Amino acid sequence: MTKYEEWLSKVQDSEILEELKQIETDDGAIEDRFYRDLAFGTGGLRGEIGAGTNRMNIYTVARATQGYANYLNQLPGEGKSVAIAYDSRIKSDVFSQTAASVFAANGIQVHIYPELMPTPMLSYAVRVLGCDGGIVVTASHNPSKYNGYKVYGADGCQITLEAAKAILAEIEALDYFTDVKILDFKEGVEQDRISYIGEDVIASFIREVSDRSMKPEPIDKNVSIVYTPLNGTGRMPVTRCLEENGYTQIVIPKEQEMPDGHFPTCPYPNPEIREALEVGLKKAKEVGSDLLLATDPDCDRVGAAVRNREGDYTLISGNQMGVMLFDYICKIHTEKGTMPQDPVVVSTIVSTPMVDAIAAKYGVEVRRTLTGFKFIGEQIGFLEKDGQADRYIFGFEESYGYLSGSHVRDKDGVNAALLICEMFAYYKAQGQSLLDVLEALYQTYGYYGETLQSIEFAGAAGAKKMEETMTRLRTDEIGALGEYSVTERKDYNLGIQGLPKSDVLEFDLDGGSKVLIRPSGTEPKMKMYYLTKGTSTEDRNKIMKDLEESFQQFL
């Protein structure tokens, strides 16, 4: 209540002030907005847009930026600079300008895109412009009421755990209203403290992505593709990249073509779920396309659907697309004799073990990281530091993120869209669909299966309940899940397998299946990953169902 009254007396933004006045007699609404500061971690900020310390607004954005600016200005060297990008979400342009104004007021040169751009293009700008860091204003695939703020280091990766901890310490020392320096955005532009990123950087990014093409033969690029940016940032870079590489038969549903932070046709703009793809699926049926692609609002994830023999469309999961792209890259490298020496593929601990089986065939080293593409990007950085960046051939995570080059250090929806279209066209020229390819991989390596369940824990009470549940999973004796005995319980909070400490639990089961549990770092959810392997589709699905049911009963 003290914080609420302080904001009520000091806020000058009329929209935020009006919201504060509207909740004056609602203790629950006040508590929800002020019971904590919006959490800051390796994913930066993310939360609902609105008034209060636990909301995304110009004051929480400015305070976080001041903390990041303080951190940057303490690093060695002179003349600090940052890059900024933003997506199509509500107030993304306002928040990006607010951040730019704070950086500029702190003597940090700002390079900001003149229009909305994908997250991977922020990572690219940080690297190509030689910046000390960067931010992108986005909430990825969350519903429209959310926005967020991802923070990047000089390497183009999202910040490390250590950097996040140091920046958080700077942020927590700041008062929202008296400790933040800010310069009018227009003045910053006029004084050249804020400059716009030019077309040369955009064109260079497209060329870099195009260079990641495997250029297989034979291939017929005259294939019909339906693509939807889900009212996000992907429309320009994805269509430009595809067209410049010869894929000209691209149809975009009008309802989802232009940027719109309200996401009117898909309230949850996540290309992982069928509901978000319904408009695109309808258009694909209408034009008779065999392939549908969809990118999330900040265009770092790609979802896909392929027409099946029944004339309907089958959604391809992130793990399925990951192993198909990995196998395709290895296959073409092998055919062309271009496989680098000691190649490396990087994936996460919650992604499919099928990648290990494919890697063994092609002689590729597998590196596993914690959840989050920043850790995959970090591995590319390690290789680059040793002068071995060419060893990296692919990285992916189960949540629809892929990257086949070292041009950026984050998942790249533009890169992935080009690769998927190329793979699709390559196999189509051989009379195979991507579903045929996937089935052949299962027959060769085993019927791997993966599914994700999420339980929401909203508000202050939910956060406490989620913490209690993780504690119980750590301390209770769990000998079996259904008919499957637990052979080992791994607690990643202890820093096992050479990885940083992380709030993740893994239950390894007899028969080779496993269940991993972790709280989401960006949403009030607990996530359960079921990784299984069967002798057939039916066997795999039975194991999956048994595990899900038994674990839900335990919870």
Nearest to 4 by CA among 12, 462, 23: 23
Q: Which two tokens stand for residue 86?
A: 């933003």
296: nearest Cα among 378, 451, 417, 425: 417
Strand ordering across the sheet containing 302-307: 250-251, 225-228, 291-295, 302-307, 313-316
Residue type, 553: Q
Tell me phi and psi for residue 418, to 5 degrees: -65, -45
C-alpha distances (whole Å) from 466 to each of 453, 481, 517, 527, 543 are 14, 20, 11, 11, 26
- Check: CB of residue 344 under 8 Å from CB of residue 396: no
As a whole number of angstroms, the distance between CA 355 and CA 367 comes to 10
Query: Nearest-5° angle of CA 331, CA 395, CA 266?
Result: 110
Angle at 105 between CA 100 and CA 107, to 5 degrees: 100
3-class secondary structure per residue, 136-178: EECCCCCCCCEEEEEEEECCCCECCHHHHHHHHHHHHCCCCCC
270 in the Ramachandran plot: left (φ > 0), alpha (ψ -120 to 50) or beta?
beta
Calculate helix-pair angle for 199-210, 235-244, nearest 10 degrees: 50
CB neighbourhood size of 207 (10 A):
12
User: How many angstroms separate the first and last alpha carbons of the chain?
Assistant: 35
Q: Is 140 a catalytic residue?
A: yes
From the list 244, 232, 247, 237, the residue with the least C-alpha distance to 295 is 232
The set of residues, in sequence order, having a beta carbon less than 8 Å from that of 146 and lying 6+ positions away, is: 46, 47, 48, 49, 56, 89, 139
Choose the catalytic residue: 81, 88, 96, 140. Answer: 140
- DSSP state, 44? B
Q: What is the DSSP letter of 56?
A: B
3-state secondary structure 257-322: CCCCCCCCCCCCCCCCCHHHHHHHHHHHHHHCCCEEEEECCCCCCEEEEEECCCCCEEEECHHHHH
Give CA–CA dist 167/242, Å, rounded.
39
Question: Closest by alpha carbon to 38, among 463, 533, 477?
Answer: 463
Number of residues that make up the chain? 555
Helices 58-73 and 161-172: angle between axes, nearest 10 degrees: 120
Cis peptide before 353 (omega within 30 of 0): no
**Which amino acids are annotated catalytic?**
140
